Amino acid sequence: MGRKTDMVLAVADMAGTVLFAVEGAMAALKGGLDLFGVLVLSFATALGGGVLRDVLIGAGPPTALRDWRYPAMAFAAGGATFAVQVMVGQNPMDQVPMGVMTTLDAAGLSLFAVAGTEKALNRHIPPFSAVLMGTITGVGGGTLRDILLAQVPAILRVDVYATAALLGATVMTGAIRLGIQPRYAALAGGGACFALRMISVWRHWALPTAVGVTG
């Protein structure tokens, strides 16, 4: 990709990391964790998906551990969230309209899903598994966060969230297979993920469950 695209991607990646770290910190604060717990959940939520992907594809030390800027950003975002909560006495994000948070989160999810898919494909992981790796990159952090809070991961229970990541990873993998340039494949995949996520929130879509049917 061109240098300008690279820079845009790097900035987006960092923005996604910061956003997910703040969301992790908010979940930790709601769970009554102390400062260390807040930092751990910021790290886990922001970088857990990528770490899991790198361990699974055997990529050696995960990017999040080789490049100190990623954990540093996650910790800074988590620490700042904690500080604001203590000083201001309320959740700093409560001031942000829900729609803005949802939109930002959907953007972060799309970015992570697409970036994870690309990394797996670059490592010659087969397409089917690359789609799984993209999905895990997108939702692995939130899953780890919920496990650390001793809760059933939200993505397993509700909402069209992981499904959006799965769609984005599938579209991107398919586009690459069709010979489309990576940058356009990424745009298509990210756009599909973002669109499905936003529409599903707007239309209150949820995946089917079998509750009520279960004996």
Binding site for its own copies (CB under 8 A): 28-37, 40-41, 51, 55-62, 65-68, 71-72, 82, 85-86, 89-91, 94, 123, 125-129, 132-133, 147-153, 155-158, 162-163, 166, 206-211, 213-215
Closest to its own copies by CB, 184 or 205: 205
Residue 79 burial (CB count, 10 A): 16
What's the closest the beta carbon of residue 39 comes to its own copies, in angstroms?
9
What's the closest the beta carbon of residue 46 comes to its own copies, in angstroms?
14
Closest to its own copies by CB, 22 or 51: 51
Closest to its own copies by CB, 151 or 181: 151
Rounded-to-integer distance, Cα 134 and Cα 190, Å: 11
What's the closest the beta carbon of residue 129 comes to its own copies, in angstroms?
4
Closest by Cα among 149, 91, 118, 82 to 6: 118
Residue 153's contacts (CB-CB under 8 Å, 6 or more residues apart) are: 142, 143, 146, 147
What's the closest the beta carbon of residue 99 comes to its own copies, in angstroms?
19
Give the alpha-carbon dihedral of 188, 132, 202, 191, to 10 degrees.
-10
Closest to its own copies by CB, 56 or 198: 56
Rounded-to-integer distance, Cα 195 and Cα 136, Å: 19
